[in-house]
Amino acid sequence: MNRYLPLVLISLGILAFATLFLVIAPGIQIAQRAVSEGLRPYTEQEARGRAQYVSLGCVYCHSQQPRSPDQAPDGERGWGRPAVAGDYVFDRPHQLGTMRTGPDLLNVGARLPSASWQLTHLYQPRAIFPWSIMPAYPYLFEKKAKAAEGDTVVVLPNGVGPADGGVIVARPEALDLAAYLLSLDRTYPVPANSLRDDGFARRGASS
């Protein structure tokens, strides 16, 4: 019975120590950095698209954190410069991800800047890449006999569209998600004092 008090005090001390060095100190360190000039908040449509991205669980197959050259050849893959903490100022919740079943998406808006391409890819990835294992999202789209004014028709190759005719148009959820993907562009220069994980590099990776 007399040992409970020391055990409680030690446990609280460990918790306080971990909170200080793993939560409070990094938060203070990041808060002191200015937002990169090239980064802007998400628009309302992009924010809705981001909510779609989160709800669909895209993070389980896609990361959003290009790494330094000594960690992975992400630059050679065309995924962009190593990410810095300031790239995520407007992200809640963060979608860093650890799995790379698909490519990193932090700069997909710069790499594939076509809304039409994004919609086709979301409707049926194998319409573009026959080898793709990415799931299709047909419920983000609607089949119509004829497009109405204001509809965004999805461009599909022969054999992928409706077999009995008609067109596939994007629902608002698909347009929002495409807008979010196009907003993913962190190709702007970053401040020299930006925080990032440089792995084993002694002088930091190139920007």
Structural domains of the chain in order of their starting residue, each with its CATH number: 10-183 (1.10.760.10)
pLDDT per residue as tens, the chain (207 positions): 567 888 999 999 999 999 988 888 888 877 777 777 889 999 999 999 999 999 999 999 999 999 988 888 998 999 999 898 889 989 999 999 999 999 999 999 999 999 999 999 999 999 999 999 999 999 999 999 999 999 999 999 988 888 888 999 999 999 999 999 999 999 998 877 777 766 666 654 444
Contact between residue 69 and residue 205 where contact means Cβ atoms under 8 Å apart: yes
DSSP per residue, 85-110: GGGGTT-SS----S--SS---TTHHH
Segment 77-126, tens digit of pLDDT: 999 998 988 899 899 999 999 999 999 999 999 999 999 999 999 999 99
Rounded to two decimals, the pTM is: 0.85
pLDDT score for 166: 92
